[in-house]
Chains A and B, each alone.
Chain A
Amino acid sequence: AQRVTQPEKLLSVFKGAPVELKCNYSYSGSPELFWYVQYSRQRLQLLLRHISRESIKGFTADLNKGETSFHLKKPFAQEEDSAMYYCAQYRYGKLTFGQGTILTVHP
């Protein structure tokens, strides 16, 4: 079965500090991976997809097949980045989500 692991349930940083949200996946082939974000009282929305290799709101994520990781990074966190972040893998017509990490950025 597919597994997506986000080891940190909670992550707190101060504004301007770097942030890294960890994600590991179980599939050994060529995965299709996403980061979704859920701001307070809002819906899940796509932040990044690995296939596009883009940077959104200063966030980037690099797929590391050797470590089966897809960590989300931002060099300088902002208060508005506070949210729940989900790593997800698409396969067999469905998304498998990690447990999610609540990021809190303190002023």
Chain B
Amino acid sequence: EPEVTQTPSHQVTQMGQEVILRCVPISNHLYFYWYRQILGQKVEFLVSFYNNEISEKSEIFDDQFSVERPDGSNFTLKIRSTKLEDSAMYFCASRFGLIYNEQFFGPGTRLTVL
């Protein structure tokens, strides 16, 4: 069964550094998402992406964040200058289309900012 994959599984970085989190959505899916979960807190929506542009973003998704689908398979989240409070689990998700809004999640990338 096809799955969403994410790399790396764990990323450690210094404050102020740029990080890129990578995701490969399920191949025939059209809608892509990033969520994050700070330790002990709920899963929070960051951004949705469709037809090569952002369709919705939360207040968390400020100018330090960007997303890209550089080719037909990858979907990336870039944090330009990481802060301590960016430490969290980042989940990528994808969904096929309009009828059912089930989103399929990747295993997550744990980002630790030191």
> What's the nearest-Cβ distance from chain B to residue A26, in Å?
14
Q: Please give me the residue from chain B that is nearest to A92 by CB atom.
A: B56
Contacts A43-B107, A43-B108, A44-B91; is A96 near B102 (CB within 8 Å)? no
Residue among A42, A93, A94 facing the most chain B CB atoms (10 A cut-off): A94
Q: Does A12 contact B (CB under 8 A)?
A: no
Interface SS, A side:
strand
Report A34-55 residues with CB < 8 Å from chain B CB: 34, 36, 42-46, 49, 51
**Most chain A CB neighbours (cut-off 10 Å) among B3, B4, B103:** B103
Task: Tell me if B45 and A100 are in contact (CB < 8 A).
Answer: no
Alpha-carbon distance between A45 and B102 when the two chains are bound, in angstroms: 10
Enumerate A70-107 residues with CB–CB distance to B below 8 Å: 86, 90, 92-100
Q: Contacts A93-B56, A94-B33, A94-B56; is A46 near B45 (CB within 8 Å)?
A: no
- Decide if A62 is an interface residue (CB 8 Å cutoff): no
Closest CB of chain A to B28's CB: distance in Å? 17
Chain A interface size band reads 20 to 34
Contacts of B105 in A (CB 8 A): 36, 43-45
A1→B29 CA distance, assembly (Å): 28
Q: Bound complex: CA of A104 vs CA of B56, how far in Å? A: 36
Bound form: Cα–Cα A32–B105 in Å: 18
Q: In the complex, which of the residues A36, A44, A51, A86 has the most CB atoms of chain B within 10 Å of its own CB atom?
A: A44
Q: Is the CB of B43 within 8 A of A94?
A: no
B94 to chain A: closest CB distance in Å? 12
CA distance A97 to B36 in the complex (A): 11
